[in-house]
A and B are shown apart, each in its own frame.
Chain A
Amino acid sequence: MTATHAGTTALSRPIVLQGIRDSFAKLDPRVQVRNPVMFVVFVGSLFTTVLGAAAALGMAPNAGRPGFVLLISAWLWLTVLFANFAEAVAEGRGKAQAAALRSTRKEVQAKKLKGRRAEGGHTLVQASSLRRDDVVLVEALDVIPADGEVIDGVASVDESAITGESAPVLRESGGDFCSVTGGTRVLSDWLVVRVTSNPGEAFLDRMIAMVEGARRGKTPNEIALSILLSFLTLVFLLATVTLAPFSRFAVASSGVGTAVTAVVLVALLVCLIPTTIGGLLSAIGIAGMDRMVRSNVIATSGRAVEAAGDVDVLLLDKTGTITLGDRQAAAFHAAPGVTEQELADAAQLASLADETPEGRSIVVLAKQQFQLRGRDLAGTMHEFHKFSAQTRMSGVDLEGRRLRKGAADAVRRFVEAEGGAWAVAVTQQVETVARGGATPLVVADGKRVLGVIELRDIVKGGIRERFVELRQMGIKTVMVTGDNRLTAAAIAAEAGVDDFLAEATPETKLALIRRYQGEGHLVAMCGDGTNDAPALAQADVAVAMNTGTQAAKEAGNMVDLDSNPTKLIEVVDVGKQLLVTRGALTTFSIANDVAKYFAIIPAAFAATYPQLDAFNLMRLASPESAILAAVIFNALIIVVLVPLALRGVKTRAVSAAHLLRRNLLVFGLGGLVVPFIGIKLIDVLLAATGWI
């Protein structure tokens, strides 16, 4: 988590103050009309205000007590303002984040090259004037002026402004580390960068737009829910509007009482329509996007965030996600007639110059098991042989000894070329190690085979439990690895994934995704290399690593700034949370209506049918206090639920049936009971004022 993102998790004072100001700005009818539910409240507020004013001036004798009408009107306005406030606060948090991001971007000078080479000379231009395919030179301590692709040079880059990660990263042309982000700083050396985005389309721009909510269109599910809420509003509009003639008919035929007043009908309408979810809906959406950004994932659209909740197959790269990045030496298996110590000694010597994590782990293991200290070879006659794709071995020539370690077949060729004999026992050892899911490295000293080093993938702590949780949620995990089937199967079993793809190539990955999709699954994956791009483009939710290539980033629909493949699981969680929060608050909102009926119906018809007081279960003090209490409760509940809307309802690692039962209990039953208590309390307070 970056320093810039911290501090906005809570509702800070400036955000609340700004939120209050914005609540009033959002009273603009053009803003209100975008939310049909709240627009009805808005119109109701206007109507009751006019009605109240007319009543106060004695122009509307049947409207009811002017004070009462105006009081209802005031609370209706507050209902609108509270809903505005919820949205404004959600936006405010996003804006605060965007401002923090924007502050990292200062107007910088760019060294625009004439050709594609650093030697061709450059001119200084404003960074904002750079277009796609311009080529710039970035030297030590320069800020990279725009998103781009390194076409020449190697440099260490400080990307903390974007990722919050303080360790500098290496960027070089070609390969999977060629993409750079505007606003980051080169610490040493130089880069030639081809700009890949026009002004305003850069990564940072997308990120700012997304968190600000400026580019936030309604997501598909949000649209569906809005439609349902609009229809509910229409049903309740019907139910309340028709009450006017019904009530007049009742008065005419029973000959007592007066017809229900317009203000009571408006109050009833506003209480019944789903204002709670209607008022919080956009805040929930903005907050969901915000949570994604907080976990340092930038989605290209809200649609992608929502789709993340639907994912039921996760394609996870073995390396870095399921296992610790690198294989580690786990054991020495000496050949017949060789002691383990001798093998360890040779292995350590062969690995002294091997700076790979695997090589270092061999040195460490030899030290741990046999107290062999890493030796300084300075002053000896030695020559290191680095690992290469051709030889597939590495080692050292030291004072006449030719020490080698490497893949079994490569070492065998080496030994046989040296005139040695390959022991059958070693083949067996190699196979045993491989069958166990580990990688065998054979060590030889000239023509003598010394034995086998077992390199093991270390499965990350806690990942197995995570997969169990995912399985309970109905999400299938698939491990993708370049290893052979044997190795892959063993690690898959150890990590507890549901399935694995061994010897994965871009083609097999793509085929696997298509197969799952054909079976009706939604597939998520993450990737970084250019060769991942086709699979990323095919997957339903594709998270590209920020360290990855431009091609990968463009193919994906999310970018993980931390470049942490485990993030996929968090992404799914945020998506689910978004939907759960909407569903929970909708249920709560509708369940609330039951209590409101019990408050308002007896009150509304008290004059005509006093018998209906049997429904006054809460024993509310008077018809006016009952109606006002319901309206006040309806307004206040929005504010009370703002933190929940912003935080999101907690999702749990349980099956859908369990989750539903739990949420129904909390939000359905809770929604039924809470308003009874709330309305009664408000009524008691109102009665205590003595005014009503």
Chain B
Amino acid sequence: MTGQGLLQLALYVVVLVALVKPLGAYMAAVFRGERTFLSPLLGPVERLIYRISGVDPAHESDWTRYAFDALLVNLLGFIAVYALQRLQGVLPLNPQGLGAISPDSSFNTAVSFATNTNWQGYVGEATMSYLTQMLGLAVQNFLSAATGIAVLIALIRGFVRREAGQIGNFWVDFTRSTLHVLLPLSFILAVVLASQGVVQSFAPYQQVTLVEPVVMQEQTVTEQTLPLGPAASQVAIKQLGTNGGGFFNVNSAHPFENPTPLSNFLEMLAILLIPAALCYTFGRMVNDQRQGWALLAAMLVIFVPLLVGAFAAEQAGNPRFDALGVDQAASAMQPGGNMEGKETRFGIANSALWATATTAASNGSVNSMHDSFTPLGGLAPMWLMQLGEVVFGGVGSGLYGMLMFAVIAVFIAGLMVGRTPEYLGKKIEAYEVKMAAIVLLVPCLAVLLGTAVAVMVPAATASVANPGTHGFSEILYAFSSAGNNNGSAFAGLAANTPFYNFALGIAMWVSRYWLMIPVLAIAGSLAAKRATAITAGTLPTHTPLFVALLVTTVLLVGALTFLPALALGPIVEHLQLHGSH
């Protein structure tokens, strides 16, 4: 590890934490329906939307109706994206004349973008028309993120309300997330990114003559096609909404998607910005900011060591190269370490930081190829996903997932203080435990069963690029990504096949909605309860002790569930790499 690298990581964390309070407070005001500095501008738009769509913002619903509305909007989004892909050949804004996408790939991509996963089996610049990218994918980037935030807000209301039947109006929460939170932030980021050189154009791809001709396979290449498109606007929301679906295939490793160190820093910051700030929003809305800070602390306590660990593993480089006498030490002239699959523009620290941030949050965008990471460097991102995408996680979904872990932690710890467990004054009883347990179980189910099926099906194992343990890691990574709605790819796995398109599509679908529904069920059940008074006999949930307990619960569930699988993948790969030289 280099001091300069560590300094960059520290700078990132400090800037992130500094932004938590202002943004979190703003979002709390938005979801409480209070006036903000943007109200004069956006308020009339919001009211106009309600008038046109016939929504009565004062009318609230119970959790089943809320869930129905959320699922409905996601279903419509799925159908729209599927149709756009299948029909793009006859639709406008298709300067390259790209044809219809195959049904299985269309299905996979439609599920992927509706579920905020943004797993990409396709190659963006080679298959998707500008219209599909903008109207299908970019729109879903907003809507899937807004759905996650809305569900979180409903859950928070469940904690706050007493003996209430309603948990809010989905359409209002959904509209406010999009209009007051995602749009303004995306607008600012898109403009800044465009200023850094991220392309934003409707022009067709450009043919340019190479300055220096390249000889490839005994042919001299003198020309190159430069893909273009409305990228900046889409990149902004893909980072902010924990979507991660790149405009171009190599995502933010592409110079047109992420050209400069500043764009790189801002894009990384955008990954964790909203999930981190929502912790503060949570504290505000439950009228105890310490509760929000405690959850953020728990996330950071898991995130920072894994970040530093990944950085250390990458900087340490490959022991086989050492054996060959290759100099892998960092110096003024070279970044050192394992540079395979990394952009020289970003180096080790920023690649490791992006990899851990993008998997801690369920973003999934990349600026380096995770497949080329060292076994331990790749283990960190993979495990962060397997923890259930609760360390920051998706916008909204990460925090509601973490709150489910908190419910379980409170349940066990609460027993140890001799009372029926309670969280934020609400008793945690059989129903909540059952629903929270489903939320914890479903991703494990999707990841482990998906991987198990894949290693048994010849059509699936044929897609593996590397044999042995690394090949196993590639499959495990793919299902960990889809089964936790992350969407990042290990690469090395040819996933655009009917098997993976369907299997991963199902994994994404199950683990998005079969988490969302139980979470809303808990919201409904909690809202109906009366609040218990806080006394010295109540387990405090804002203390370092509770943070430690929550962290232990998350790590223990993650470790106990995935340790055997990880042992057969990255862990044994690491041991093999280091044991045989």
Interface residue ranges, A against B (CB under 8 Å): 220-221, 223-225, 227-228, 231, 234-236, 238-243, 245-250, 253-254, 268, 272, 306-307, 309-310, 312, 471-476, 519-522, 575-577, 579-580, 582-584, 586-587, 590, 593-594, 597, 601, 605, 609, 611-612, 614-615, 651, 655-657, 659-661, 663-664, 667-668
Residues of B within 8 A of A594 (CB): 556, 559-560
Binary contact track B466-490/A, C-beta < 8 Å → 1, others 0: 0111011000000000000000000
CA A349 – CA B535 in complex, angstroms?
A: 53
Residues A254 and B468 in contact, CB atoms below 8 Å apart: yes
Residues of A within 8 A of B572 (CB): 605, 609, 611-612
CA A573 – CA B71 in complex, angstroms?
A: 47
Residues of A within 8 A of B537 (CB): 312, 473-475, 655-656
- Across the interface, name the chain B residue whose C-beta is closest to A667: B416
Residues A593 and B540 in contact, CB atoms below 8 Å apart: no
B532 touches which one: A220, A475, A522 (CB < 8 A)? A522
CA A663 – CA B467 in complex, angstroms?
A: 47
Main secondary structure of the interface of A (DSSP, over half): helix
Known: A227-B433, A474-B537, A657-B545. 20 other contacts (CB 8 A): A220-B420, A228-B412, A234-B441, A243-B564, A243-B568, A250-B468, A253-B467, A272-B560, A520-B531, A520-B532, A520-B533, A583-B412, A583-B415, A584-B416, A587-B412, A590-B560, A597-B564, A609-B568, A656-B417, A656-B537
- Across the interface, name the chain A residue whose C-beta is closest to B420: A310
* Contacts A/B (CB < 8 Å), 16 sampled: A224-B429, A227-B430, A235-B440, A235-B444, A238-B448, A247-B568, A248-B455, A253-B468, A310-B419, A580-B417, A590-B560, A614-B575, A656-B417, A657-B543, A659-B417, A664-B416
Residues B538 and A235 in contact, CB atoms below 8 Å apart: no
Does residue B135 face the partner (Cβ distance < 8 Å to A)?
no
Does residue B304 face the partner (Cβ distance < 8 Å to A)?
no
Residues A656 and B538 in contact, CB atoms below 8 Å apart: yes
Does residue B179 face the partner (Cβ distance < 8 Å to A)?
no
Report the minimum CB–CB distance from A221 to chain B (whole Å).
Answer: 6
Binary contact track B502-542/A, C-beta < 8 Å → 1, others 0: 00000000000000000000000000001111011111100
User: Known: A235-B444, A242-B565, A243-B564. Contact between A659 and B416, CB under 8 A?
Assistant: yes
Report the minimum CB–CB distance from B553 to chain A (whole Å).
Answer: 9
User: Known: A224-B433, A656-B419, A657-B540. Contact between A235 and B561, CB under 8 A?
Assistant: yes
Does residue B75 face the partner (Cβ distance < 8 Å to A)?
no
Report the minimum CB–CB distance from A103 to chain B (whole Å).
Answer: 35
The 3 lowest CB-CB distance pairs between A and B, nearest first, are A474-B537, A583-B415, A576-B418
Binary contact track B558-580/A, C-beta < 8 Å → 1, others 0: 01111111011001100110010
Does residue B97 face the partner (Cβ distance < 8 Å to A)?
no
B416 touches which one: A227, A254, A583, A614 (CB < 8 A)? A583
Residues of chain B in range 402-431 having any CB-CB distance to chain A below 8 Å? 408, 411-420, 425, 428-430
CA A601 – CA B569 in complex, angstroms?
A: 13
Report the minimum CB–CB distance from B460 to chain A (whole Å).
Answer: 10
Residues A249 and B461 in contact, CB atoms below 8 Å apart: yes
Residues B408 and A228 in contact, CB atoms below 8 Å apart: yes
Report the minimum CB–CB distance from A309 to chain B (whole Å).
Answer: 5
Residues of A within 8 A of B164 (CB): none
Residues of B within 8 A of A663 (CB): 416-417
Report the minimum CB–CB distance from B455 to chain A (whole Å).
Answer: 4
B420 touches which one: A221, A235, A253, A475 (CB < 8 A)? A221
Report the minimum CB–CB distance from A306 to chain B (whole Å).
Answer: 7
Main secondary structure of the interface of B (DSSP, over half): helix
CA A281 – CA B23 in complex, angstroms?
A: 46
B472 touches which one: A246, A519, A605, A668 (CB < 8 A)? A246
Residues B535 and A476 in contact, CB atoms below 8 Å apart: yes
Residues B536 and A656 in contact, CB atoms below 8 Å apart: yes
CA A668 – CA B549 in complex, angstroms?
A: 10
- Across the interface, name the chain B residue whose C-beta is closest to A662: B416
Does residue B302 face the partner (Cβ distance < 8 Å to A)?
no
CA A575 – CA B419 in complex, angstroms?
A: 8
A587 touches which one: B416, B437, B560, B579 (CB < 8 A)? B416
Find the residue from B412, B417, B418, B572 having the highest chain A CB count within 10 A. B418
User: Known: A254-B469, A471-B536, A473-B536. Contact between A660 and B412, CB under 8 A?
Assistant: no
Interface residue tally of chain B, by bracket? 35 or more
Find the residue from B414, B452, B565 having the highest chain A CB count within 10 A. B452
Residues of A within 8 A of B203 (CB): none
Residues A238 and B561 in contact, CB atoms below 8 Å apart: yes
Residues A655 and B536 in contact, CB atoms below 8 Å apart: yes
Interface residue ranges, B against A (CB under 8 Å): 408, 411-420, 425, 428-430, 432-434, 437-438, 440-441, 444-445, 448-449, 451-453, 455-456, 461, 467-469, 471-472, 530-533, 535-540, 543, 545, 549, 552, 556-557, 559-565, 567-568, 571-572, 575-576, 579
Residues B575 and A239 in contact, CB atoms below 8 Å apart: no
A583 touches which one: B413, B441, B452 (CB < 8 A)? B413
Residues of A within 8 A of B437 (CB): 227-228, 231
CA A605 – CA B568 in complex, angstroms?
A: 9
Report the minimum CB–CB distance from B472 to chain A (whole Å).
Answer: 6
Report the minimum CB–CB distance from A601 to chain B (whole Å).
Answer: 5
Residues A228 and B418 in contact, CB atoms below 8 Å apart: no
User: Known: A236-B560, A306-B420, A475-B535. Contact between A580 and B415, CB under 8 A?
Assistant: yes
Residues of A within 8 A of B557 (CB): 235
User: Known: A224-B411, A593-B560, A597-B560. Contact between A246 and B451, CB under 8 A?
Assistant: yes
User: Known: A224-B411, A656-B539. Contact between A249 and B561, CB under 8 A?
Assistant: no
Report the minimum CB–CB distance from B2 to chain A (whole Å).
Answer: 28
Report the minimum CB–CB distance from B411 to chain A (whole Å).
Answer: 7
Residues B575 and A612 in contact, CB atoms below 8 Å apart: yes
CA A220 – CA B42 in complex, angstroms?
A: 48
Residues B452 and A309 in contact, CB atoms below 8 Å apart: no
CA A486 – CA B269 in complex, angstroms?
A: 65
B452 touches which one: A221, A245, A522, A615 (CB < 8 A)? A245
Residues B579 and A309 in contact, CB atoms below 8 Å apart: no
Residues of A within 8 A of B451 (CB): 242, 246
Residues of B within 8 A of A656 (CB): 417, 419, 536-540
CA A327 – CA B411 in complex, angstroms?
A: 47
Residues A657 and B568 in contact, CB atoms below 8 Å apart: no
Residues B564 and A575 in contact, CB atoms below 8 Å apart: no
Residues of A within 8 A of B430 (CB): 220, 223-224, 227
Residues B545 and A660 in contact, CB atoms below 8 Å apart: yes
Residues A580 and B425 in contact, CB atoms below 8 Å apart: no
Residues of A within 8 A of B414 (CB): 583
CA A236 – CA B556 in complex, angstroms?
A: 12
Residues B567 and A474 in contact, CB atoms below 8 Å apart: no
A520 touches which one: B468, B530, B561, B575 (CB < 8 A)? B530
User: Known: A242-B452, A253-B471. Contact between A601 and B535, CB under 8 A?
Assistant: no
User: Known: A611-B579, A660-B416, A660-B539. Contact between A520 and B471, CB under 8 A?
Assistant: no
CA A227 – CA B438 in complex, angstroms?
A: 10
Find the residue from B413, B438, B445, B537 having the highest chain A CB count within 10 A. B537
Report the minimum CB–CB distance from B459 to chain A (whole Å).
Answer: 14
Residues B560 and A660 in contact, CB atoms below 8 Å apart: no
CA A454 – CA B429 in complex, angstroms?
A: 53
B418 touches which one: A242, A246, A609, A651 (CB < 8 A)? A651
Residues of B within 8 A of A234 (CB): 441
B456 touches which one: A221, A245, A577, A614 (CB < 8 A)? A245
CA A656 – CA B417 in complex, angstroms?
A: 5
Report the minimum CB–CB distance from A145 to chain B (whole Å).
Answer: 41
CA A519 – CA B461 in complex, angstroms?
A: 60
Residues B568 and A246 in contact, CB atoms below 8 Å apart: yes
Residues A235 and B560 in contact, CB atoms below 8 Å apart: yes
Report the minimum CB–CB distance from A304 to chain B (whole Å).
Answer: 13
Residues of B within 8 A of A231 (CB): 434, 437-438, 440-441
Residues of B within 8 A of A586 (CB): 412, 415
Residues of A within 8 A of B428 (CB): 224
